Amino acid sequence: MRLIPKSSDMSSPIQRISLVASLVVAIIAQWILLDQQNAVLGAALFVVAVAFALNGVSIDAALGAAIRVTPLAAPRDVANEFAATKAPSRPAAANEPAKAGFVLSLLRLESPIRFIAFVACVVCAIGAFTLNTDASFGNEAGTEYQFTLVGVVAWFASVAFFLITFWQSQKTLTQWRESIRARLSCLRNGVHLSPTTLALLAVLALGAFFYFYNLNGTPAEMTSDHAEKLLDINDILTGHYPLFFVRNTGREPMQFYVTVVLMKLLSLPLNHIALKVGTALIGWLTISATFFLAREMFDDTIGILAAFFVAVMRWATAIARMGLRYPYTPFFAALSLYFVWRAMKHHNRNDFLIAGVTLGAGLYGYIPSRDAPLVALGLFFLWIIFDAQARTRKIDWRAFAENIGLMLGGILVVFLPLLRYTLDFPEMFWYRALTRVSSAEQPIQGNLLTILADNLKNLALMFNWRGDEVWVTNISYQPTLDLVSGALLILGVALAIYWMIRARNTTYLYLLAAFVALLLPSALSLAFPRENPSLVRAGGAIPFAAILLALPLVALVRVAQDHASKMEMALRWSIVGAICAVVIVFNYHWYFIDFDLSYRQSVQSSTEVASVIRGFADSVGDMQHAYFIGYPYWLDGRAVAINAGDITWKNFSLDARDWFTDDHFNLLYVLHPSDKENLARLLEHYPQGQIQIHPTQIAGKDFLSFFVPAQ
């Protein structure tokens, strides 16, 4: 399979400069688009930039010679197809015969041990489906099924037995022992890191800075979504283990349990930072997952550059540091589709199995991950259409169908507990999705096809023209990518399309198809088209966007490199390094300065209100006699309680009269400065009360306290 083209022939200096010119012109075009005053000029310059790029990788106009394109890196496995021929022979494991057993031959259960494991898998799967249905716990939002100890054990055991049943042993026990001894011997002789490993470690260190630096301060405040999540986590900490959390129209459980584990390991408090540490960690792990995905599709250089963009990209950073479920989608997209790609590439049953397990696990993360299994099946469908018939060797369609079935089986086994909940409470499981794609919450206004077409247009423009309006993860309406990355994406898409057509290289077809498919959860907001584009719903596309961003930089380095001098190659790499440095600076400034200020101006400061209440409780009063009087579109009282250090504190409502008391204690009421009605009620009931205005760090968010001294 041919991947990124590399020239093996001489090219003119003009052609070599074309790629640099394309980058310069594309950046100018993106800069013009940012102003949003001259879209026609910006689009025209992008056309020019693409023309320069294609000239740089295709035909030397001066010499009139075609540049031969060859792979950057050959696949590591020569058997790069679904073929009827068997893999190289290997010694049969001690516990399995060389030939397939007669029991369940369709699934090739090759030994009695595998058959026993299969029976155990079925029994445990039934347990996983039926035993995680404890409905003894509920909250204000409704009844929740809970995980049970025996149900969880059965669930994990069903996954383990499923893998044991169908796993293909690659080595005998003796070979494994020899391999382990060899690795230990290498460790005793010292650790030698390859340049790729060192580069990946550097990228991970850079990513650690972007994902964890000043995490307690940026983003600054909780929203109501955070308060809901912390209440769910408190349910776990108090001995309840929901399978699907029904607060706030329902949420998948993975983030909550990951957060609880991190709280225990790191002694994190039950507040915003606990949520942010968990999601930042998932975002940081996405860097490595993207590296392995990109390397498997292309080579080490693409892998490192794609990982770099995930490490610094403001799109990835903003959704990962927020403390909500958002980064689970790109993480599982990169991880699961890495194994899907390996399955397509090597036809190894184990890759199909792990792909199924990771796709199933992703369903416990965030709603957009529900389309990942469909994306995987779509990629296999494209392979059947465009690659299978082109193979010189006969395809073993039965083996292919079995492996697809095993992948789907892996998804099913992992999904079983949540499947039971879905069947029993479909209205809750599907509520958030259905309210966006149908008229379940509000009628769809207009023609479906017209709305979808408009959504797709807006989705395409999100990277370079007009992005998400939601201030929680974006400066409203700003493009999703920075100045340089936006330019690189246009060039990357153009190069991918060009190489797909010119080199008949389906790798780029799969790359573009996955990228577009993972954006669709945003475009499918038909009932609420204003919510499109959505950075969080389109988050699954982040790893593939990063790969596309890497393509122009690799093209710059690789074109005609065999005929370039050392000085020229050093200059090329210097340009790539300079571009990466600029991307770092742009994304740092955007997130830690511009976005931080924008977020603080948009969010309400529950920490400052909580600080006043906690100060009262720790000095002249107590939490029992402190009250928060809410106001429309102001603070969430639950966030105030959490920041005050007592998630069970519920002394808040919209009416001060709810908290009038004759207790002979000091009392404190906190109000919005525009709430004249409640202030008048307090003055009437407590004429001795003292009013104080509390200025906040951000102008326009001041609040009042009304102190009533004990009589």
Can you read off the two tokens belonging to residue 62? 């001066």
HSE on the CB side for 283, CA within 13 Å?
37
Query: pLDDT band for position 115 (50/70/90)?
Result: confident
Please determine, for residue 118, whether its predicted confidence score (pLDDT) is greater than 50: yes
Crossing angle, helix 300-312 and helix 314-321, to 10 degrees?
Answer: 50
Q: What's 593's DSSP letter?
A: I
Q: Are 609 and 670 in contact (CB under 8 A)?
A: yes
In whole angstroms, what is the distance from residue 481 CA to residue 458 CA?
15
Question: What residues does 138 pair with on adjacent strands?
Answer: 143
Could you say which DSSP state residue 594 is in?
Answer: I
The pair phi, psi for residue 482, each rounded to 5°, is -75, 175
Q: Which residue has the higher pLDDT, 391 or 508?
A: 508
Please classify residue 604 by burial: count the beta carbons closer than 10 Å to its beta carbon, then call 0-12 exposed, 13-18 middle and 19+ buried.
Answer: buried
Residue 391 pLDDT class (50, 70, 90 cuts): low
Distance CA 334, CA 547 (A): 11
Does position 209 have pLDDT exceeding 80, yes or no?
yes
Confirm if 641 and 649 have CB atoms less than 8 A apart.
yes
Q: Quote the tokens at residue 657.
A: 């009269």
Domain ranges of the chain: 606-708
Buried b (16+ CB within 10 A) or exposed e, 275-300: bbbbbbbbbbbbbbbbbbbbbbbbbb
For residue 573, the number of C-alpha atoms closer than 13 Å in the C-beta half-sphere is: 8
**Secondary structure E strands in 96-177:** 134-139, 142-146
Tokens 């403001």 label which residue?
Answer: 314
Instruction: Give residue-wise pLDDT tens across range 611-670.
Output: 999 999 999 999 999 999 999 999 999 999 999 999 999 999 999 999 999 889 999 999
Q: Evaluate whether 566 touches 505 at the Cβ level (below 8 Å).
A: no
505 three-class SS? coil
Instruction: Evaluate whether 50 touches 491 at the Cβ level (below 8 Å).
Output: yes
Question: What are φ and ψ of residue 153, in 5° steps?
Answer: -60, -45
pLDDT of 476 above 70: yes
Average pLDDT over residues 59-66: 31
Mean pLDDT value of segment 567-572: 91
What's this model's pTM, rounded to 2 decimal places?
Answer: 0.91
The β-bridge partners of 691 are 706
What's the token pair of residue 372? Answer: 């990942």
The pLDDT-based confidence of 268 (bands split at 50, 70, 90) is: very high
d(CA 561, CA 16): 10
How crowded is the C-beta side of 157, counted as CA atoms within 13 Å?
19
Q: Looking at the DSSP assignment, which residues form a beta bridge with residue 705? A: 670, 692
Q: Which residue has the higher pLDDT, 325 or 179?
A: 325
| CB-neighbour burial class of residue 33 (10 A; exposed 0-12, middle 13-18, buried 19+) | buried
Distances (CA, A) of 466 to 29, 90, 461, 530: 15, 56, 6, 12
pLDDT at 78 > cutoff 70: no
Kindly give, in sequence order, each residue whose CB lies less than 8 Å from that of residue 6, ignoring residues fewer than 6 positions away.
69, 70, 71, 72, 558, 559, 561, 562
pLDDT of res. 139 = 66
How far does the chain reach from its first CA to its final CA, in angstroms?
85
* pLDDT score of 73 more than 70: no
pLDDT at 62 over 60: no
Sign of the dihedral defined by the CA atoms of residues 263, 269, 275, 276, in that order: negative
Q: Does position 97 have pLDDT exceeding 70, yes or no?
A: no
Cβ neighbors of 662 (< 8 A, separation 6 or more) are: none
Handedness of CA 586, 197, 554, 16 (dihedral sign): positive
Helices assigned H by DSSP within 267-327: 272-297, 300-312, 314-321
- Which positions ≥6 away from 239 have C-beta within 8 Å? none
User: Residues 375, 518: contact at Cβ < 8 Å?
Assistant: yes
Helix, strand, or coil (residue 242) = strand
Nearest to 215 by CA among 94, 117, 321, 361: 321
The span from the CA of 363 to the CA of 370, in Å, is 6
Predicted local distance difference test score (pLDDT) of residue 6 = 46
pLDDT at 584 over 50: yes
Decide if 471 contacts 322 (C-beta within 8 A).
no
Identify any residues that bridge with 69 across adjacent strands, giving them in sequence order: 7
Region of poorest pLDDT, from 16-30, 168-182, 258-272: 168-182
Q: Mean pLDDT throughout 368-390?
A: 91
Mean pLDDT of 482-498: 97
Report helix, strand or coil for 604.
coil
Q: Which helix (H) or strand (E) holds 389?
A: none
Longest alpha-carbon distance in the chain: 97
Percentage helix, strand, coil, to 5, in the chain?
Answer: 60, 5, 30
* Mean pLDDT, all residues of the chain: 88
Q: Which of 297, 391, 213 minimizes the C-alpha distance to 4?
A: 297
Number of H helices, E strands in the chain: 26, 9
The per-residue pLDDT for range 292-351, each reduced to its tens digit, is 999 999 999 999 999 999 999 999 999 999 999 999 999 999 999 999 999 998 889 999
Query: Any residues with CB less than 8 A from the CB of 148 and at least 6 apart, and which?
Result: 131, 132, 134, 241
Encode burial over 61-100: b for 16+ CB neighbours within 10 A, e otherwise. Answer: eeeeeebebebbeeeeeebbbbbeeeeeeeeebeebeeeb
